[in-house]
Structure 1
Amino acid sequence: MAKDKSGFIIAAAFIGPGTVTTASLAGANFGFHLIWALIFSIFATIVLQDMAARLGVATGKGLSAGMKDMVSSPLLRGFFIALIVSAIGIGNAAYESGNLTGAAIGLDAFIAIGSGNWAMILGAISALLLWTGKHQWIESTLVYLVFIMAGVFLLTLLVAMPDIGAMLTQAFSPQLDVSSITTVLALIGTTIVPYNLFLHASLVAKASQGQDKTTAIKASRKQSAMAISMGGMITLIVVATAMMAFFQQAATMDAGNMGEQLKPVLGDKAQWFFALGLFAAGLTSAITAPLAAAYAVCGALNLSDDMRSKHFRAIWLAIIVCGVVVAGAGFKPLPAILFAQATNGLLLPIIAISLLIVMNKSNALGEFRNGLWSNLAGALVVSVVVGLGAYKLFGLIA
């Protein structure tokens, strides 16, 4: 019986270069005025991941198969298949470009050959690791590096002695306007990651085999809430360090000086350490995102999810190739990463609404179907995300 560590894997998965970059830009440009978006994101992530986990435990299947098999209408089933293939494919391709760009920025700080060239090299490394199937050990090492980086951010915050009063004042003065909406969507998109819903359901389904379902769900719920809250706290700390270094200061943040926020502790080595953390976060996510997409799409299309099957390999390879092409196209790195997170924020409502439908419609869920409070929380999450997406689209066409 496998030990369920899915909550911590999900938390580690959303702390990629997109999270570090987006949180840094949020703190540098808006201070604590957008903290409301981060708090909402953590709440929404816990709510949606709980639904995905319950689905996985109750059915013993991943979210793709669960969504598809729990509807009898061929039309609705076809919709779910098209949704999974398109939304997860597009979303993960966008995520992959951000992952590779973030890792490339980190490596380019050590050996300057251009982030586009590094993106191609990193794409090839990710593909090689996935092809051999021996990627778990390097993922573990890189995740440790990510959490070491988070520890340095926390130490920096404590040493710099932040103005708590100013932070609270800004936190209670929330901002939402044309200038901040992209960053708000990016904060949501980098925390509530659509592919993590599919990944979580599959991991819990495998880990809970042979266990009492009620016990497994309670354990998963407790672990996920703790791990995701921890991930949110790390994001909050990054926002705070960036705020102290750049908000309302003469200097503005760019790809070349993001590490300045760690200078109070690391001095001249700050940029190098930040680059190492960005590389670790990026490569970890560059492996996880295409892997999750392959599981999701294979489940939707009734294809083998054996890591050595040709269909499985073709899907994750296509995601990596798309990520490399976009990352190497010469876009400015920070806007490219921010755009990838905002894209996921816009795709999220489609997945969230579908998940809500399945959690209420399926007879196979039995006692694990959504209750009143789960539905109210889910409806709140969907309403806010849809509203923000509509606000963004209206701003583009107005």
Structure 2
Amino acid sequence: MPKSLSFRAGLGSVLFWSVISAAFIGPGTVTTCAMAGSGFGLRLLWALTFSTLGTILLQEAAARVTIASGLSLGELLTQTYGPRVRWLMTVLFGAVALGCAAYQAGNILGAVSGLALLTGVSSQVLTVGVGIVCVALLWQGSTRLIANFLGLIVFAMGLCFAYVAVSVSPNTTELTTALFMPALPDGSTVLVIGLIGTTIVPYNLFLGSGIGQGQSLTEMRFGIALAVLIGGFISMAILVSGMLVTGDFSFQTFEQTLSARLGSWAGALFGFGLFAAGFTSALTAPLAAAVTGRSLLGWSEQSGRYRATWLIVMAIGLTFGLLGVKPIPVIILAQAANGLLLPLVTVFLLLAVNNKTLLPAQYRNRPWQNVAMLLVVALTAFLGLRNVWLAIAAGQF
């Protein structure tokens, strides 16, 4: 294993792992981060610090499993536990697929909302159009070039948010405190879970473990760390930008705020960027559900169940769009659902990276890594259970 990287190798590794950042910077990130800034100022910024560091920790572990064993996370779990607890693999797949479906609803609604800001065309018409294009591309398997192109647009939108965030000129002391000091203002729990769930995306752990083959540990660690840090910075910039929005949050008010601050071009960039974020994620979420089923349950890509999985996830997102559901609540709930799923997936990853049978000693977790992963499980489980308790106490169930 090389001790250092050349500039070219390091840059290539960052670009390679930028797929993880592109996957979590979707409509959910824009919505959840902007609402957090609009409603609570800088006070929830710590959740993005936690989730960015947590993403690096968990993605590195998932990729390390593959580099060491040659197996994806799903394949390793199946090989280790599948023969004895096949039902548990099915439950885990169902939980991941449900999270993907929740994300897909937000993806479709976000993409359609972005197009609506640009064109003013009916949401139903746009939903049908987006759905047809996504299904056609998924059926043909020709998504990579389009996803990369739209990823660049999303990154350009991130630069726009960074510019706006700088123009907000937050107090340096407040900013530093908010980055590292946890706070839970009244009514913020769902948003905190959403901020974590939109960054540490459960299905990205299966995706990351599946693409890590062929890299050295040095390349993988450098690429994941820098790519995810860039994604986390964009999320933080969106949160700070959201502080400009006063009153009730909506995509329209956010677009108007950017237009007033930077000019009409910024509003148009936001609309296209929101569409790009949703459309890119609308291609990856259904595939991620199908890939998880393949690795956990042993499907082949040619099987009917594989194709049926991504079709069902796509259908759920289209149904929400055609029913005219308001996008903001659905997107927030999607992020919260993934935040609740995260502890389950993290527990399985923790078991995998401590497997003495399949992983050599140098690839297994060190004590500090186990403690850090347990912290992620504990905090996300606490927030999830606290939110359920508050909902029950308020009579929402």
TM, length-normalised to structure 2 = 0.90
Alpha-carbon distance in structure 1 between the residues aligned to 2:207 and 2:62:
9
User: Which residue of 98, 110, 131 maps to 1:123?
Assistant: 131
Whether the 8 Å contact between 1:69 and 1:77 is mirrored in structure 2 is no
Aligned to 1:348: 342
Matched, 1:192 2:200: yes
Given that 1:6 and 1:204 are in contact with CA atoms closer than 8 Å, whether structure 2 keeps it comes out as no
Inter-partner Cα distance in structure 1 for 2:355 and 2:29: 34
Closer/same/farther in 2, CA of residues 173 and 264 from structure 1, 3 Å limit: farther
- Partner SS, residue 184 of structure 2: coil
Q: Is 2:147 aligned against 1:139? A: yes
Specify which of 346, 363, 376 is matched with residue 381 of structure 1: 376
* Aligned amino acid, residue 220 of structure 2: S
Q: Please list the CA deviations of residues 66-107 of structure 1 after superposition, one character each: whole Å capped at 9, or x if unmatched.
A: 111123x7333431x123321111000000111111111001
Q: 1:30 and 2:40 equivalent?
A: yes
1:304 aligns with 2:315: no
Residue 173 of structure 1 deviates from its aligned partner by 6.4
Alignment deviations for residues 162-197 of structure 1 (CA, whole Å, 9 cap, x no partner): 443554465576431450000000000100000100
Rounded Cα–Cα distance in structure 1 between residues aligned with 2:23 and 2:116 = 23
Give 2:23's aligned residue.
13
Counterpart residue type for residue 239 of structure 1? L
Q: 1:149: how far off?
A: 0.7
> Matched residue of 1:253: which SS?
coil
Q: CA RMSD in A?
A: 2.1
Distance 1:63 1:116, change over 3 A: farther
Match of 2:6 in 1: none
Contact 1:116 1:328 in 2 (8 A): yes
Map 1:199-348 → 2, pairs under 5 A: 199-205=207-213, 208=214, 216-243=216-243, 245-246=244-245, 249=246, 251-263=247-259, 265-305=261-301, 309-348=303-342
Q: How many angstroms apart in 2 are the aligned matches of 1:83 and 1:315?
A: 15
Q: Which residue of 1 aligns with 2:385?
A: 390
Q: Distance in 2 between matches of 1:315 and 1:75?
A: 25
- Report the AA paired with residue 57 of structure 1: I
How much has 1:26 moved relative to structure 2? 0.5
Q: Distance in 1 between matches of 2:101 and 2:187?
A: 26
Contact preservation (8 Å) 2:78, 2:297: no
CA distance in 2 between counterparts of 1:116 and 1:178 reads 36
One-letter code aligned to 1:319: V
**3-state SS, counterpart of residue 166 of structure 2:** helix
- CA-to-partner distance for each residue in 1:297-317, whole Å, 9 max, x for gaps? 0122211135xx543322211
Question: In 2, Cα distance between the equivalents of 1:300 and 1:197?
Answer: 13
Q: Percent identity?
A: 38
Asked if the contact 1:154–1:237 (Cα under 8 Å) also holds between the matched residues in 2, the reply is: yes
Shift of 1:257: 1.2
Q: 1:74 aligns with which of 75, 79, 83?
A: 83
Write out per-residue CA displacement over residues 134-160 of structure 1, whole angstroms, 9 at most, x where no aligned residue. 111111110010011111112223345
| Unmatched runs of 5 consecutive residues or more in structure 2 | 1-8
Q: Which segment is superposed worse, 229-238 or 352-361?
A: 352-361
CA distance in 2, matches of 1:373, 1:164: 31
Compared CA separation, residues 75 and 115, structure 1 to 2 (3 A) = farther
CA distance 1:66–1:117, shift in 2 (3 Å): farther
